[in-house]
Amino acid sequence: MTTPRILIIAGSDSGGGAGIQADIKTVTMLGGHAMTAVTAITAQNTLGVQAVMPVPAEMVLAQIDSVVGDIGVDAVKIGMIGSAETALIVAARLEELAVPIVFDPVMVATSGSLLADAATIAAFERLMRIASVVTPNIPELEALGGEAAVLAHGCHLLAKGGHADDDYVVDRLLGPNGEIRRLEGKRFETEDTHGTGCTLASALATGLGKGLGIEKAFEQAVSFVRIAILEAPGLGNGNGPLGQQYVTDFQWGERDND
């Protein structure tokens, strides 16, 4: 099987729990080749974000052009975008690619630290217009205007349920005609959830890059995240990282040919 080439456009997490570090681990464990365009550098650990330095938009674009022009891309995952300028320039460039694009509209870290200002969040509108799937958590979905507002951009919506207070986590996949699939799983009593959103979006992008249909890719991405939570190594004194590197027996479904 051809190795899926996954371009990750996201920020760096120095603690290795979220951001491009979580993305690379996820894509690698799922059999993909991870490539990156770093949008921001953070000083970050399990307790929070101590500092953020955005990468200039021109440099982000140069990274994208470098890998696209040589290696090629089968799917894209967008996470922390860094600035409104970067959001707009990235959207314009990705519009030229005929590949699945998964947009995780990162606004706040698991610790509660702000990772996107008001101007950047406003620029998310442009990214949603070129995305195949948008993957907000409950607060992010509310900030984006709700389900109807997101779906109005012509994308699919993966509405994550991890921020609810119920005993079960409900993740929902929606399309233009309403809900396509929902998955319910028992909530794990753990604080080791740093990077769950990044991991889910990267797993989804890898599945789509492998040629899976949206529903199957959704099901298997959720499954991968849940296993990675159970495999968390228990590092740090706050919200610890997942254990993507320990999910060694995960099997993707067959490629969709229709």
Q: What is the C-alpha separation between 198 and 27, in angstroms, rounded?
A: 11
Candidates 141, 115, 157; CA nearest to 18 is 115
Please measure the distance between the N-terminal and C-terminal CA atoms of the chain and give it in whole angstroms. Answer: 17
Separation of CA 160 from chain center: 11
- Please answer whether residues 242 and 199 qualify as being in contact, where contact means their C-beta atoms are separated by less than 8 angstroms: yes
* Residues tagged active-site: 160, 193, 195-198
Q: Is 44 helix (H, G, I), strand (E, B) or coil?
A: strand
Rounded distance between C-alpha atoms, residue 258 and residue 256, angstroms = 6
